[in-house]
Each structure stands twice: as C-alpha cells, then as structure tokens.
Structure 1
Amino acid sequence: MNDDERLALAARVRDACIAAALAGHEEAAIAGLCSEGALEAAISAIQMLDLQAVVDSAAPD
C-alpha cells in the first residue's frame, strides 16, 4: 500500500467515525438523553464501528 492509498484509507476511517458519531448523537438526542449522554452515545458508536467494513469498502474491486 503506497502513501496515497494509506491516506485515502485514513480519510475513509475518519469519515466513518464522524458519520457514526453524528448518528449516535442524533439517536441519543431523539431518545431524550442529556448532552453528556448523547456524547457518550456518540463515542460508543465510534467504538462499535465495523473497521473491517470500512477497510473492505476501500479495497479495489
């Protein structure tokens, strides 16, 4: 894997983490959790992120 491919993979992981955090926070807010609870839910969503799926999505066909 060259530098460009590593950078692209890192960007995919970052984007997936952001998407997971936003979704987790939104779901928690809808459920009525306080700000602290919503933040914990966002962090939990990142921790549960399927990294293998992110890596597989970056693999060439």
Structure 2
Amino acid sequence: MGDEGDLVLAERVRSACVEAARLGYEDAAMSGLCGEGALEAAIGAIEKLDLRELLPAPHTAQDKEC
C-alpha cells in the first residue's frame, strides 16, 4: 500500500472510531449512565471495532489482468 493508500486507511479508521465512540456514548447516556460511564462505553465501542472490515478488499488474479 502506498502513502495515499495508507492515508485513506487511516482516515477510514479514524472515522470508524469517531462514529463508534459517538454511538456508544449516546446509547450509554440515553440508558442513564453518568458522563464517566458513557465515556467508558464509548471507549469500549472503539475497542470492539472489527478493523478487518476497514481494510481494502484483497486483489484477485482478475484484477491484475487489467
């Protein structure tokens, strides 16, 4: 992966982390957790991210023919 590809992947990871944290915090706050508890839930949501889903799809032999 080149520099541009690395940057794209880094941006995807950052966006996924922010979204997971936002949703985790909102869910926890709506459930009545205090700010500290909601923050812990947000961090937990980031830790549970499946980073494999953010990786680019592997190239197949057909891709290399073009």
**Do they superpose with TM above 0.5?**
yes
Identify unmatched segments of 5+ residues in structure 2: 60-66
Q: Show CA shifts across 1:21-52 (max 9, x none).
A: 00000000010000000000000000000100
Alignment partner, residue 43 of structure 1? 43
Matched to 2:14, the amino acid is R
Alignment partner, residue 14 of structure 2? 14
Q: Distance in 2 between matches of 1:42 and 1:19?
A: 10
What is the aligned residue count?
59
Q: Runs of at least 4 residues of structure 1 off by over 3 A?
A: 58-61
More helix per residue: 1 or 2? 1
Shift of 1:59: 3.4
Q: TM-score, normalised by structure 2?
A: 0.83
Greater relative contact order (CA < 8 Å, ≥ 6 in sequence): 1
Q: TM-score, normalised by structure 1?
A: 0.90
Alignment partner, residue 59 of structure 1? 57
Q: Distance in 1 between matches of 2:43 and 2:17?
A: 9
> Larger Cα Rg: Structure 1 or Structure 2?
2
Alignment partner, residue 63 of structure 2? none
CA RMSD of aligned residues (A): 1.4
Identity of aligned residues (%): 58
